[in-house]
Amino acid sequence: MAQAPTKPKHYPEVVAVVNLKGGVGKTTLCVNLAYGMAYFHGKRVLLVDLDPQANATQYLLPQQTYRGVYLIEPPKKRSVFELYRAFEELDLAASTAIPAPTDPSVYLQRVYKGSTGYLDLLASKLQLSLLAFQGGQVQKNSQIRWLIESVRDRYDYVLIDAPPTVSRMLMAAFEAAEHVLIPAKPDFLSSIGLPLLRRVIDKEYMQEIARRPTWMNPLKILGLVFTMYDKRLRMTVDSEEEIRRVAGEMAAPVFDSVISDSTKFAWSSQKSLPIFRTEPRSRYADEVASLVSEFLTHFEQNRDSDEQ
Amino acid sequence: MSSNDVYALISDILGLAGRYSAESFRAARSHVEKSFQGHDQRALLRIIETLELLVYERARTDKKVGAADASSGDFELQEVVAILQDSAFLPRKSELLTFLNKVMGKSALKASPKDSRDAVVRKAMRAFLQLPEPTRTRAYKMLHARFVRARGSSLKDWSDIISE
């Protein structure tokens, strides 16, 4: 019997952050969680912005930096849009064995560096949305996984900020990830979106799109995090109960930590900094720190049980 | 002092690293400044300074502290290190030096225009660690306010960037 290819050593923990409903605080969660792992715990983290709205990119990079890195000629770094284009050019050249498009480092921009940890960004661009209209590309979603495999020794964790639409970018996020994290705003429409996401993963993705290598674990829902949480609202209490029920049916654990609703997050995004750097004494900074610890504990416990 | 004395001192410093306290590092620095001159003094101070930053960082990550349980001194130091290591903050060295002289005080910073940017940043971190508590908090607040102010985004700029 042929042996299955083994998982490459050090393939990082890759988590797609997804909700098919927009406006639930997905990017805020993704940016603060990724940055927090590097800042508080010295982890080596990559954030992949796969949403054509490019909000994670705008959250993390000051405008001057963006101009000086991506908009000069020749650009110092390239975005995920250029990564897709590089793959397409290789396809057009009808190369049989597809080589790496170029040095993967050209796609990675350092955002934060501590003494041991760091956060890198694969930036997005609005043009990414145009790729969704190109035909004949339905099965070609391995670009992000290629990038992560190419730089796997450099990172402990990769978070993918996936778009809130069923699209090529969402499928590329699933193709690269082994875990899905769901941000959920406690309101009625969010609770409707959860079974829809489950269906997209199980049916559209797993049955029709997936081309996962055999060494990858099946895509699993890591859990659900309540975002834009305001416990003073009746709607929050009612919707939280309903969402917990739906999450239970989906076997999706609910994180104890929540991220509250606050304009301070909008302020921090305007400063291109996570909340714990703009408002370090705020309760929102504490919430993020607590979520980061809970998130990492989950992986550490799983690693311990795998080793036993 | 003989080479043996120097090695014994380095050993003491490494011992300090095992039980981090800002006070013991301050005492070690003061001892080196009194007992050594010239190149030896500079080299030993560099060792202490590097160890202090490393040990501080290790102690913090080992405890797995976040903003919730870090003491105010911890997060101030961490934030100052992050700000100073951000090369986008006051990218012109002269501007950075002028600002840091204002924040830390020229006598505490001990940096000159001939120093490289890295050397200015290193000296600023050392000066920050040595500042007495109230001055240190004031310096943190000034540094943080300037850093955050410099990072403002405007909606119009982003819309220009996106459509370029």
| A58/B153 CB distance under 8 A | yes
Give the total number of structural domains in chain A: 1
Q: Which domain holds residue A224?
A: 13-307
Quote the pLDDT of residue B160.
81
Q: Does any CB of chain B come closer than 8 Å to the CB of residue A121?
A: no
The whole-angstrom distance between B33's CA and the closest CA on chain A is 26
Judging contacts by C-beta atoms under 8 Å, the chain A residues touching residue B78 are: 39
Query: Is A72 a residue whose pLDDT tops 80?
Result: yes
| A62/B88 CB distance under 8 A | yes
| B82/A65 CB distance under 8 A | no
| A63/B65 CB distance under 8 A | no
pLDDT band at A90 (very low <50, low <70, confident <90, very high): low
Query: Is A16 a residue whose pLDDT tops 80?
Result: yes
Query: Is A78 a residue whose pLDDT tops 50?
Result: yes
Tokens of A55: 């909000």
Q: Does any CB of chain B come closer than 8 Å to the CB of residue A14?
A: no
Residues of chain B contacting A, Cβ within 8 Å: 53-54, 57, 61, 64-69, 72, 75, 78-79, 81-82, 85-86, 88, 148, 151-154, 157-158, 161-162, 164
pLDDT band at A41 (very low <50, low <70, confident <90, very high): very high
Range scoring the smallest mean pLDDT among A1-5, A146-150, B1-5: A1-5
The residue of chain A with its CA nearest to that of B51 is: A115
Quote the pLDDT of residue A91.
62
Q: What integer is the mean pLDDT of A71-90?
A: 88
Q: Residue A204: inside a domain, yes or no?
A: yes
Judging contacts by C-beta atoms under 8 Å, the chain A residues touching residue B54 are: 115
Ranked by mean pLDDT, which of A1-10, A100-109, A268-277, B58-67 comes out on top? A268-277
SS3 A99: coil
| A285/B162 CB distance under 8 A | no
Q: Does any CB of chain B come closer than 8 Å to the CB of residue A216?
A: no
Strand order in the sheet with A44-49: A109-113, A118-122, A44-49, A157-161, A13-17, A179-184, A220-226
Cis peptide before A74 (omega within 30 of 0): yes
The residue extents of the domains of chain B are 1-64, 69-153
Quote the pLDDT of residue A276.
96
Quote the pLDDT of residue B64.
45
Quote the pLDDT of residue B67.
42
SS3 A159: strand
Using CA atoms, how far apart are residues B86 and A117, in angstroms rounded to an integer?
14
Judging contacts by C-beta atoms under 8 Å, the chain A residues touching residue B64 are: 40-41, 293, 296
Which has the higher per-residue pLDDT, A151 or A5? A151
| A280/B75 CB distance under 8 A | yes
Q: Does any CB of chain B come closer than 8 Å to the CB of residue A280?
A: yes
Quote the pLDDT of residue B13.
67
Of B86, B148, B161, which has the smallest distance from its Cβ to A66's Cβ? B161
Look over chain A and give the mean of its residue pLDDT values, rounded to a whole number: 89
Dump pLDDT digits (tens) for A125-145: 888 887 766 655 555 788 999
CATH number at residue A146: 3.40.50.300
What residues in chain B have per-residue pLDDT under 50? 63-70
Q: Specify the pTM.
A: 0.82
SS3 A223: strand
Phi, then psi, of A180 in degrees rounded to 5: -125, 130
* Mutation for A interface: B90, B155, B161, most A CBs within 10 A: B161
Q: Residue A294: inside a domain, yes or no?
A: yes
The whole-angstrom distance between B35's CA and the closest CA on chain A is 30
Using CA atoms, how far apart are residues A141 and A131, in angstroms rounded to an integer?
12
Dump pLDDT digits (tens) for A168-212: 899 999 999 999 999 999 998 888 888 999 999 999 999 989 999
Question: What proportion of chain A, given as a percentage, has pLDDT over 70?
Answer: 89
